[in-house]
Structure 1
Amino acid sequence: MANTPAEYIQHHLQNLVFGAHPEKGWIIAQTPDDVKAMGFMSIHVDTMGWSLFMGLVFLVVFRMAASSATSGVPGRLQNLVEMCVEFVEGMVRDTFHGRNPLIGPLALTIFVWVFLMNSLKWIPVDFLPGLAHMLGAPYFKIVPTADPNGTFGISIGVFILIIYYSIKVKGVGGFAKELSLTPFNHWALIPFNLFLEVLGLLTKPLTLALRLFGNMYAGEVVFILIALLPFWSQWALNVPWAIFHLLVIPLQAFIFMVLTVVYLSSAHEEHH
């Protein structure tokens, strides 16, 4: 798979890309040059596939818990699901100040889905990429949230909801007034207000995506560097780093969920 440490790191940080090559047609990229040539006419197959798979895991597990729920002594799965639901419900109740039945399920979906995608980091870095290489895949990256395409995909979806509810709740005129007359309520400062408010609005999906990507990508790089060490010394660093991620993985899912609820709560507030 790689002859030098630099090639090893590059290999593990490269996604499996399918797209339209200007000279070769629709292909799976075999080299980084192929990826560059494809540009935007491509898709990260591993990121998309693992994102959909973990979303399916979320739906199946919660469906199983719902179908086997009992009012008597709950089983372990029901207990786990109820803990997640009650935890997210409490956060939404404390954070969201509007009235919208979609926010609770949305927050639960984001928290569990992002957590499941983050948790793929616990799988040894060489295991699945090695299997994929044996099956003929030149590259394979399994953590969707360590790919900015994955995190930006979720954050752009949140951004669309922010714009939608800002217009729905406040109206087009109300939303426009909020952008143009905040923070300084004077017509002469409308250009300055618009610059600040539009910039602040655009940074919301940017910070959502980059915060999650940065933390997951950095953790992935450290795991890869540890894998380059001699076998006898890997466990001395790999185990503590994996234990540290017992906190990082749910924390990043929690932060993404809370910020989403905060932004949507702001979108539901009337402008005065």
Structure 2
Amino acid sequence: MAAGNVVAPADYIQHHLQNLTFGLHPDNGWSFAQNAAEASDMGFWAIHVDTMGWSIAMGFLFIWLFRKVGNAATTGVPGMMQNIVEITFEFIEGLTRSTFRNENPIIGPLALTLFVWILMMNTLKIIPVDYFPGVFASLGVDQMKIVPTTDLNATFGMALGVFLLVLYYNFKIKGVAGFARELSLKPFNHWALIPFNLLLEVVALLVQPFSLAMRLFGNMFAGEVIFILIALLPFWAIWLLDVPWAIFHILIVTLQAFIFTVLSVVYLNAAHERH
């Protein structure tokens, strides 16, 4: 349905972009925010319940589905789900082998988890924008965003997790002194240029989580806004535009999961290399 026929377009857009936020409000105590202003007043002491819920649900779905397929795997003629899982495994294995040139048994499972989990969260975008908000509204829940990757908190959380691993392996593989030398003596191996090298290398290091988070968030959020704008159009125009955009977006959601995974493996590979 085009909810813009019922409420003002601006209110419709704001409603669909508002997370279900629970936190400590200065006036109302611990409560759910009723609008964006109340959510911003909660500041740090707030949580996006819908982002947490849907991301955890997709994580459990990933684990359950792959475990079920793995337990039922056969050496005979595989079913459709076994084919999909095997293709995904082989794809990530090839990606990891070609990108990660060191030895670490964690990187392959990490790459598989990132790719499939992000892909599942992104794919929620294909569901019509009014469907779940309408279902939850009938249950008394006013706000409900079902695509976690349209929330900057979610993408930054994943990017920060990867960044912490990058720092961990930099210190573990190279040691404190080795990591410090790498930051201070690259790209120019001369003591007089250490301040310049530090500026370049520290900025390049800190850009990693920002690039991961902002790229995924920006693409997913922009796609979400376009779906919302299409839903404001007349009924005949919705089907004319929504279906082609949804088909095109299948490529986008897959590509963004792939890019996040590739960059994560590249950053972790650099953390393992001695210069």
Q: Structure 2 length as normaliser, TM-score?
A: 0.97
Alignment of 1:246-257 (within 5 A): 246-257=250-261
1:194 CA drift (Å): 0.8
Partner residue in 2 for 1:128? 132
Q: Which residue of 2 aligns with 1:214?
A: 218
8 Å CA contact 2:20, 2:33 repeated in 1: yes
Aligned equivalents of 2:272 and 2:111: distance in 1? 15
Aligned to 2:46: 42
Q: Which amino acid aligns with 1:125?
A: V
The secondary structure found in structure 2 opposite 1:170 is helix
Task: Count residues in correspondence.
Answer: 271
1:187 to 184, 188, 191: 191
1:125 counterpart SS class: coil
Deviation per CA, 1:107-130, whole angstroms, max 9, x where unpaired? 000000000000000100000011
Answer yes or no: is the 8 Å Cα contact 2:23–2:47 preserved in 1.
Answer: yes
SS, match of residue 23 in structure 2: strand
Detail structure 1 runs of 4+ shifted over 4 Å in the superposition: none
Q: Of 129, 141, 145, which aligns to 1:137?
A: 141
How many Å apart are 1:36 and its aligned residue?
Answer: 1.3
Q: How far apart are the structure 1 equivalents of 2:28 and 2:8?
A: 28
Matches within 5 A, 1:44-63: 44-63=48-67
Q: Which residue of 6, 18, 23 corresponds with 1:19?
A: 23
**1:32, 1:252 → 2: CA distance?**
28
Structure 2 counterparts to residues 20-99 of structure 1, below 5 A: 20-99=24-103
CA distance in 2, matches of 1:71, 1:138: 49
Q: Distance in 2 between matches of 1:207 and 1:95?
A: 18
Secondary structure at 1:183 match in 2? coil
> Which secondary structure does the structure 1 equivalent of 2:144 belong to?
coil
Amino acid at match of 1:58: F
Select the residue among 113, 116, 119 that pairs with 1:115. Answer: 119
Secondary structure at the counterpart of residue 185 of structure 1: coil
Amino acid across the alignment from 2:192? A
After TM superposition, the score normalised by the length of structure 1 is 0.98
Structure 2, unaligned runs of 5 or more:
none
Task: Determine the C-alpha separation between the residues in 1 that align with 2:143 and 2:79.
Answer: 40
Compute the RMSD of aligned alpha carbons: 0.9
Q: 2-side partners of 1:74 and 1:230: how far apart? A: 45
**Superposed, which structure 2 residues align to 1:213-232 within 5 Å?**
213-232=217-236
Q: Distance in 2 between matches of 1:136 and 1:38?
A: 22
Contact 2:69–2:81 (8 Å) recurs in 1:
yes
Is residue 204 of structure 2 the alignment partner of residue 196 of structure 1? Answer: no
Which amino acid is the alignment partner of residue 30 of structure 2? W
Q: Give the distance between the partners of 1:129 and 1:163, measured in 2 at CA.
A: 40
Corresponding residue for 1:264? 268
Note if contact 2:19-2:50 (Cα within 8 Å) is conserved in structure 1: yes
What percent of counterpart residues are identical?
63
Name structure 1 gaps, 5 residues minimum. none
Deviation at 1:138, TM superposition (A): 2.2
Supply the distance in 1 between the matched residues of 2:111 and 2:201 (Cα, whole angstroms).
25
- Correspondence for 1:100: 104
1:3 deviates by: 2.3
Match of residue 157 from structure 1: 161
Contact residue 18 and residue 35 of structure 2 kept, 8 A: no
Equivalent AA in structure 1 for residue 143 of structure 2: Y
SS at structure 1 position matched to 2:141: coil
* Whole-angstrom CA distance in 2 between matches of 1:112 and 1:43: 24
The one-letter code sitting in structure 1 at the alignment partner of 2:50 is D
Cα distance in 2, alignment partners of residues 223 and 75 from structure 1 = 34
